Amino acid sequence: MSPKRILLIVGGGIAAYKCLELVRRGRERGLAFRCVLTAGGKEFVTPLSLASLSGEKVYQELFSLTDEAEIGHIRLSREADLVVVAPATANLIAKMAAGIGDDLATTLLLATDKPVLIAPAMNPMMWAHPATVRNMARLREDGIRVVGPNPGDMACGEVGSGRMAEAHEILAAIEAILNPMERPLEGQRAVVTSGPTREAIDPVRYISNHSSGRQGHAIARALAEAGARVTLVSGPVQEPDPEGVTTVHIESAREMLAAVEAALPVDIAVCAAAVADWRPALAPARKIKKEEGAAAPVIELVENPDILRTLARHPRRPRLVVGFAAETGDLEALARAKLARKGCDWILANDVSPGSGIFGGESNRILLLTAEGESEAWPELDKREVARRLVRRIADHLAREADHG
């Protein structure tokens, strides 16, 4: 079979350098690339770099006599299987939404009859600007696919959502579009919990933890990409809601349990949230004031509902119940004890000791334990790759279960 052809439009942003990795890794997977470099894009990467990695000529000018005679912008837009815009800047997004074609890139986007995938990248304030929000809504209505952006530190020094998706994320999105039948969880329903919970001490203070929700959100996204209908129950996090997922925002453990039970019945439950084990017995309606000479207040704690154990023993128990064990020592022994105590099917254990970088970090190191006694130690992986590996494991498990059922 001939390789799938990608028309890659490289926009003018610092994230353009990631396109070099995208082309390199994409060719390793059997994809063929033709690249279009915008005027802004060539300020960050060179035509020679893209041509060397793609093995193809790089196109830049709309009114190039040679290019128009040899191929023309119409043929260039039609001979691809997929058009990818990365980075998709605020300017490019605005032009796409308005139907403006004033250079080669935007003219190609108007002329193509193929699917279009964009990877937005810009300053967080620009991403959150009402104009960009409106433009993105229009593009989604027009059927444009989107991957990212991700939260994190920006080149401008600010922090927030706006970083372009990594090469492996864009490739996963490309492959999902080009191979739409490869959705092993089509028809399955899933619920995922993510992030921390907050347990009120008074109207302005709470008990919580350092969970970023990055792993849980990645799992919800990967399940949706595999075809599942996903409900994500999320505590307070900075992560954006994943595309194609129904997200329910909660604060407390009791609210999370109620939202999870409302999502039942489901086939798959993944409890990745870091739920507070205890909450204050009383939460006054007024702020607790510090008074001169008075003793520090005593806060009585009561146990929160155990969401993982509740699901594992629920009358409408999911076919597969997966939990996480965040430990700070003796990882395997503590995780095995939790697996038995909770009654779930799998536990994904990780070491969150100080210095591990797991809470709030980009990567994770997993020890997977099953109720059948299996054990798998995964290497340190990006949290999105952890999510994809888990989803593949889930799909294989459910397929085997169906074969033996």
DSSP codes of every residue in 8-37: EEE-SSGGGGHHHHHHHHHHHTT-EEEEEE
CATH number of the domain where residue 211 is located = 3.40.50.10300
Annotated ligand binding at 103? The verdict is no
pLDDT tens-digit series, residues 125-183: 899 899 999 999 899 888 899 888 887 766 666 767 788 888 888 888 888 788 765 68
Same domain, 128 and 220: no
Q: Which of 126, 153, 178 is the last residue of a domain?
A: 178
Going from the first residue of the chain to its last (405 residues), give the mean pLDDT of each consecutive group of 10, the final group possibly shorter: 85 91 89 92 91 89 59 74 93 94 90 91 90 91 86 69 85 82 86 96 92 94 92 94 91 97 97 95 88 87 96 96 87 92 94 61 86 90 88 92 71
Does 67 belong to an annotated binding site? Answer: no
Same domain, 130 and 209: no
pLDDT reported for residue 181: 54
Return d(Cα 224, Cα 161) in angstroms, integer. 21
Per residue in 64-116, pLDDT tens? 555 555 556 577 878 889 999 989 999 999 999 999 988 899 999 998 889 99
Looking at the structure, do residues 79 and 194 belong to the same domain, yes or no?
A: no
CA atoms of 164 and 149, how far apart (whole Å): 5
Residue 87: Cβ within 10 Å count: 29
pLDDT at res. 46: 92
**CATH code of the domain in which 31 resides:** 3.40.50.1950
The per-residue pLDDT for 62 is: 72
- Could you list the active site residues? 156
Q: How would you classify the pairing of strands 268-271 and 278-280?
A: unpaired
Co-location of 268 and 193 in the same domain = yes
Three-state DSSP class for residue 151: strand
Direct distance between the N- and C-terminal alpha carbons of the chain, in angstroms, rounded to an integer: 36
Are both 90 and 224 inside the same structural domain?
A: no
Range of the domain at 74: 5-178
Asked if 71 and 22 sit in the same domain, the reply is yes
Domain boundary among 121, 149, 178: 178
95 in a known ligand binding site? no
Judge whether 342 is annotated as a binding position.
Answer: yes
Residues 119 and 167 in one domain: yes
Domain check: are 62 and 112 in the same one? yes
Distance CA 154, CA 161 (A): 9
Among the three residues 134, 154, 178, which one is the final residue of a domain in this structure? 178
Residue 203 marked ligand-binding:
no
Q: Is 383 assigned to a binding site?
A: no
The structural domain count of the chain equals 2
Residues 153, 219 within the same domain: no
For 194, the 3-state DSSP assignment is: strand
Say whether 18 counts as a known binding-site residue: no
Q: At what angle do helices 214-225 and 167-178 cross, to 10 degrees?
A: 20
| CA dihedral sign, ordered 120, 125, 128, 129 | negative
Same domain, 148 and 16: yes
